[in-house]
C-alpha cells in the first residue's frame, strides 16, 4: 500500500467537496420516528412529569407545603 500517494493533498481534492451536502441530504432522509426503546423512555418520563405536576398542583397551597411536595417528588423519582 502506497501511503505517499494518499497523503498528497491532491488525493483529497474533489473528495471533500460535497460532503456537507451529502450529510445534510442523509439527515433529511432519516426516519423521523424514534426507536421503541427511546419511545418507552419517553412514555416513562411523561408519566413521571405528569405525576410531578399533579403533586405541585395539589400541595403548593402554602409555603410550608413545599417541603412535603419535594418529598413526594423525590419518592416519585426514586420509584
Q: Considering the entire predicted model, what is its pTM?
A: 0.42
In a domain, 40, yes or no: yes
User: Domain range for residue 58?
Assistant: 9-78
The answer to whether residue 3 is domain-embedded is no
In a domain, 2, yes or no: no
Question: d(Cα 58, Cα 55) in Å, to the nearest integer?
Answer: 5
Residue 62 included in any domain: yes
Q: Identify whether 4 is part of a domain.
A: no
Q: Is 32 helix (H, G, I), strand (E, B) or coil?
A: coil
C-alpha cell at 18: 460535497
Residue 1 inside a domain? The answer is no
Number of domains in the chain: 1
Q: Locate 25 and state its grid cell.
A: 441530504
pLDDT tens across 15-70, in order?
A: 666 565 677 777 777 766 666 666 666 677 778 888 888 888 887 777 677 788 88
Residue 73 has pLDDT above 80, yes or no: yes
**pLDDT average, residue stretch 8-13:** 62
Amino acid at each position: 500500500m502506497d501511503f505517499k500517494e494518499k497523503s498528497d493533498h491532491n488525493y483529497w481534492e474533489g473528495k471533500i467537496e460535497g460532503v456537507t451536502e451529502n450529510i445534510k441530504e442523509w439527515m433529511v432522509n432519516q426516519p423521523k420516528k424514534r426507536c421503541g426503546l427511546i419511545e418507552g423512555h419517553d412514555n416513562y418520563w411523561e408519566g413521571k412529569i405528569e405525576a410531578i405536576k399533579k403533586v405541585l398542583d395539589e400541595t403548593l397551597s402554602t409555603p410550608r407545603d413545599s417541603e412535603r411536595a419535594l418529598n413526594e417528588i423525590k419518592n416519585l423519582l426514586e420509584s
